[in-house]
Structure 1
Amino acid sequence: MLLLRKAIISNSKRFKTNWIQPEGYDTGIKVYNCVTRTKVPLVVANKSCVTMYTCGPTVYDSAHIGHASCYVKLDIIQRILRRYFKLNLVTVMNITDIDDKIINESKNLNKSPIEVARCHEKEYIQDLDQLLVTKPDVLLFDEKFAYKSEDGSVYFDVSQYENYGKLQKIGENTLEVNTGSIKNSPADFALWKAAKPNEPYWDSFFGPGRPGWHIECSALAGNIIGSSVDIHAGGIDLRFPHHENEEAQSCTFFSKPQWVNYWLHTGHLHLRDSVKMSKSLKNTISIQDMLKTVNPVVFRVACLLSHYRRQLQSTIDNKSLIESLSETMTAVDNALQDDFNTPVVIESIHRLMTVTNKMLHTPSTNSNYLNHSVYVTAVMNFVLEIFKVFGVDILSKQINEEVNDYSDIIDVLIKFRQNVRQLGISERNENALKLCDETRDELRNLGVYIKDHGKISSWSR
């Protein structure tokens, strides 16, 4: 409760430094560092307790699939850290329930700000459940304990903090003195906003008011995690000014040059015309609307195919198969250590499955299938386990029920196409073969892939 007060009234020490690599346990992972603009080793203070704070939503409206993309990607990273690298990760997330946007929406709906916030808080938690996102260990709702501060509107003076612009380079004009404004500089940000008529407020020794947006995360994370945070995550749009301001005020309060050791920022979700999805552009699709037509597991796999920072042999040769599996395991390990590069993981697994399927669907005179099955099973176990790390249970009842709904129909269609294709080959009928190719291409657009193996054909999703 004293965090905000001390951050404002203390004679802050001034630092000028770049990123400082922390001391502790080297995880073997490399992550992109927005301060150095390079990938750096992920070193945590204690393997037995790795802290990760994530900026949650401001609940003034329904969450859209851009939010879903962010939280699913971060959930994938958290699963990798916990299940693959065996780190004891403790996660904290806030939900902002008092903000200008919430107040404006409450006026539009003629409801109280708390009614608007509580409605969308409940909806957001339901969205996380349906998206198969693991709930944070600590979920914080910004309430009175974080709102203690001084009288009137109070701003953070960035000119007193020499390391401002650490996370994102800013122009000199950003720090120019303001004329005709209550702020000294355009970059100065509110720590405490004085109360306005007909708006929520809390009493404090500064007078009635409410906290600024940036101070909420600092106060919450500082109270729960403390003076050093291993990992802080959020969307790329939060890097500046929100995360920049969090870092500045927290370093000032704790009198240290670095509060967060690693910042993880997820890329935006763009529409087909490369336009960012956002509520301000009124081009959003709500999570609930998406889930009416898209399986949450399918959406998760789509997230895996995009890097979290960016806008999916003639017979069974046991030796070749096990070599391919070994190479894939190494490639997956290297990719996950390299800034959680899930697209490379998916590509590596796809290559492994291509090799395996080609061997399985090629006729063989070798009848020792039991011996082969051991190696095929090893491939299957590895693939299933990796996807479980990502939160995708391929064998789940939900997925298999959906597949079984039409798998029999596809079997009939594939068999019919197979017979037409053989007839076209035997009679050299180009029109029949063309129809078979068109059917294959149309099914591919629907997510069904056909492979022809001599006289037989197989399909997969």
Structure 2
Amino acid sequence: MNLLGRASLQLITTNPLKTNRTNILNQNRNTIRLIKTSSITMNTTTNWRAPQQSQPSGAEVSSNLRVYNSLTKSKVPFIPKEPNKITWYNCGPTVYDASHMGHARNYVTQDILRRIARDYFAYDVKFVMNVTDIDDKIIQRARQQHLLENLRSKADLITPELTDQVRQSLESYANNTVKKLLGNELSLEEVLQKAASQLQWKAEMVAKEEKFGMWIEALGSAHKALGRAICLSDMSIDNSRAEAERLIDGASEVLSKWLDQKYGSTITDHAIFKKLAVYWEKSFFDDMATLGVEPPSVLTRVSDYVEEIVEYVQKIVERGFAYVHEGSVYFDVNAFDGAEVKGHPGQQTFSHCYAKLQPGSKANKKLMEEGEGALSVNPASSTATDVKRSPADFALWKKSKPGEPGWQSVWGMGRPGWHIECSVMASAILGDGMDIHSGGVDLMFPHHDNEMAQSEAYHNCPQWVNYFLHTGHLHIEGLKMSKSLKNFITIGDALKQHSARQLRLSFIAQRWDLGMDFAESAMAEVRNQESTFNNFFAVVKALRYERSTEQMIQAIDLDQSKSVGTSHPLHAIFENARSDFHAALCDSFNTPEAMKQLLNLVTETNKYISAQIASIRAEPDGQSLLVISHIAAWISKMLRVFGLDEQTLASHPRSSTTNNRGGSDLIGWNVCDPVGSFSLRTFFLFFCMLSHDEEIM
């Protein structure tokens, strides 16, 4: 099958602002203050080449946008390969568990950047995202859950056999975790007691091994459940099915792993793995919809591209950058790194480069082993040289072992390696290169470095990705969050405490490329910002409502806002805010600074309204209100660019409606409140009672 010939799921996305590129550029370009740029053509560390845009004669550069590029570790001018278009690939989820706040930070942030590129800078964005539904984590989790459910379905009572299984699983888990760290100096009971009573010692152990806390929690839960079950059994008290299930649930973490070690190799039904992936994929996209994250333009799944993956790997082998060993195929890092190759006709000879993103991690065995997956060869039982030519080599195709799904290939039954999956799917949709590749910073090495290496080997090109955008880590109240450490807050739990808009505002308040601490103090500030906008919109709508009752309201036309009230005191403040807002977004999508400009503009406008309320209401021509209305409408539009409007955040988006009272529906969170609604009437009465020297908050 032709690699580039597969029909992928195309999800049509539209520009919610419904403005064409020319109008947006004209509007935004008029507010630009000169931003100094430097001509960057190559980074000496990674040999990054600035893209050469193919522009039609006479075309002008559309913006002064500069982005932080992980390939250069600096901000560089953004130059797409084609004028006005962006090709973008974003690493999607591996679907084996509930989505957490780390996912929210990554995917909402990518959604914000995508919206800015499309709705502010007016690029035509082709946004491709994958779903990883073939992976070691999925295989392990599916087997564990299947075996645990089988055990649960047969457990009618607490039997000696069941308690013995739990006891064995507890011992096995302890031997593979805490005993490896501590040796045999302490019994399991002593370890659990010490961890509970000596918090300083426990903290020291966590500093040595970050999974120690997770181990103690799993062992403690199983130990407690087993003790209770033995006690009930000995005393012949309430030995029921419910108690048997309680034992299994309490020991589920250690028991599922033990069952998988003993019986995982017996599972042959592909449907078991598919069922888990389908369930969590739906859960992921349900969470994304609740958070207002737009679907990708094109969605791909690994399971739909296995045939293309085989062809892709074959070509890398033919080029001399991969080798076959007993049914598996490995990428030859030493053969690739520094290899001089002749490019396509018209290109100069170039040298391949491995680990462009994190060259300092080339020898990091822990990261390399994690990248290969938990089901790869165990280093303790087989040295790397038994399988690979070099420990740095990574699997492109894995020979399927008993208990793993497999697909037919020229090398026998097997399955794709993790890194090759993204290379093939991105190439199938975007061809031999792309403008932007994005993902979490934790994917930088080895995943993204390996992905680039194998793609550049396949396409015989020096630079497969022009701009790599990595979102920063998320911490919860200063603590690292990790699904593998069982230390995370699910998106569902977070939404019980905060609205989708508040979560999005919290991400906007942080630089996308830096780490973020999700703390209650930060969320309190977010709620204050939300209230500031709410109150401002209500004040402006109240003023417009009063004017509309006198049939003296003027319609809002943002395209004409620069020519409205040019001599008005707020005009210069408005123009400066627009200019500074534009400069912030040109500065690598600096959303914290952009939001600061919006809030400052609200503050200055509120000050003017408080000081001039009488004259605003008495003006025959309503010029002050018109300027204020344009300010409120522009702020509302910029908030919609960030995806903060109600239509974005609603599970079932409402159709846009036109208000017959002079465009009040352009003001606010895209909520088309009737101008005469009770809430506005109430606020207007309160507004009328304000003395002229009171400041509106």
Whole-angstrom CA distance in 1 between matches of 2:394 and 2:129: 22
Q: 1:205 to 1:2 in 2, by over 3 A?
A: farther
Return the offset for 1:58.
0.2
- Give the 5 Å matches for 1:197-236: 197-236=402-441
Give the match for residue 121 of structure 1: 281
1:402-413 matches, within 5 Å, as none
Tell me, in whole angstroms, the C-alpha distance in 1 between the residues paired with 2:476 and 2:673.
Answer: 30
Cα distance in 2 between the residues matched to 1:410 and 1:352 = 22
Question: Residue 454 and residue 380 in structure 1: after superposition, are their counterparts in 2 closer, same or farther (change >3 A)?
Answer: closer
Aligned counterpart, 1:339: 588
In structure 2, C-alpha distance between the alignment counterparts of 1:379 and 1:398, rounded to whole Å:
17
- 2:627 maps to what in 1? 375
In the alignment, the residues of structure 2 paired with residue 191 and residue 405 of structure 1 have an alpha-carbon distance, to the nearest angstrom, of 63
TM-fit CA distance, 1:46: 1.1
Q: Verify the 8 A CA contact 1:34 1:168 in the aligned structure 2.
A: no
Rate the CA distance shift 1:195–1:405 in 2: closer, same or farther, 3 A.
Answer: farther
Shift of 1:170: 1.7
Distance 1:181 1:360 in 2: 77
Distance 1:456 1:103, change over 3 A: same
Q: Is the 8 A contact 1:318 1:372 kept in 2?
A: no
* Alignment map for 1:91-170 (pairs within 5 Å): 91-110=127-146, 112-143=272-303, 144-148=306-310, 152-160=327-335, 161-162=337-338, 163-170=353-360
- Post-superposition offset of 1:363: 5.3
Are the structure 2 counterparts of residues 99 and 398 from structure 1 closer, same or farther at C-alpha, using a change threshold of 3 Å? farther
Provide the residue aligned with 1:244 in structure 2: 449
C-alpha deviation, 1:276, in angstroms = 2.1
Separation in 2, partners of 1:400, 1:344: 30
Question: How far 1:317 moved relative to its partner?
Answer: 11
- Asked if 1:34 corresponds to 2:70, the answer is yes
**Partner SS state of residue 362, structure 1:** helix
The match for 1:327 is: 576
8 Å CA contact retained: 1:325, 1:379: yes
Is the aligned partner of 1:22 residue 2:22? no
The Cα shift of 1:365 comes to: 5.6
Alignment of 1:248-397 (within 5 A): 248-272=453-477, 274-310=478-514, 311=516, 319-362=568-611, 366=615, 367-368=618-619, 370-393=622-645, 395-396=668-669
Aligned-residue RMSD, C-alpha? 3.2
Q: Work out the CA distance in 2 between the residues paired with 1:17 and 1:269.
A: 27
Tell me the CA shift for residue 355 of structure 1.
Answer: 0.5
Q: Work out the CA distance in 2 between the residues paired with 1:114 and 1:236.
A: 28
| CA drift at 1:187 | 2.0
Report the alpha carbon displacement of residue 453 of structure 1 after superposing the two structures with TM: 7.6
The 3-state SS of whatever aligns with 2:474 is: coil
**Aligned amino acid, residue 449 of structure 2:** E
For residue 12 of structure 1, what is the aligned residue in structure 2? none
Equivalent residue, structure 2, for 1:78: 114
TM-score, scaled to structure 2: 0.54
2:678 and 2:142 map into 1 onto residues whose CA distance is 44
Stretches of structure 2 that go unaligned for 5 or more consecutive residues are 5-44, 56-60, 148-271, 314-323, 339-352, 369-382, 517-525, 527-564, 647-667
Shift of 1:44: 0.7
Q: Distance in 2 between matches of 1:405 and 1:62?
A: 41
Name the SS of the counterpart of 1:69 in structure 2.
Answer: helix
Please tell me whether the aligned partners of residues 147 and 202 of structure 1 are also in contact (alpha carbons under 8 angstroms): no
Q: Distance in 1 between matches of 2:98 and 2:678?
A: 31
Is contact 1:54–1:93 with CA below 8 Å preserved after alignment? Answer: yes
Amino acid at match of 1:373: L
Equivalent position SS for 2:407: coil
Q: In the comparison of the two structures, how many residue pairs are matched?
A: 406
CA deviations over 1:114-158 (Å, ceiling 9, x no partner): 111000011111112111111101100111334425761211111
- Matched position secondary structure for 1:110: helix
Question: Take 1:283 and 1:405, find their aligned partners in 2: how far apart are those partners?
Answer: 45
- 1:56-67 to structure 2, matched below 5 A, reads 56-67=92-103
Task: Tell me the percent identity.
Answer: 39
| Letter paired with 2:107 | Y
Aligned partners of 1:195 and 1:173: how far apart in 2? 27
Cα 1:333–1:397 change in 2 (3 A) is: closer
2:96–2:276 Cα contact (<8 Å) kept: yes
C-alpha contact (below 8 Å) 1:3/1:253 kept by paired residues = no
**Given the superposition, is the C-alpha separation of residues 361 and 17 from structure 1 closer, same or farther in structure 2, using an over 3 Å criterion?**
closer
Deviation sequence 1:193-252 (CA, Å, 0-9, x none): 111102101010011110000000001001111101111011111111111011000001
Partner amino acid for 2:451?
A: E
Other-structure match for 1:192: 397
Rounded to whole Å, the distance in 2 between the matches of 1:179 and 1:103 is 23
Which is worse superposed, 324-333 or 143-152? 143-152
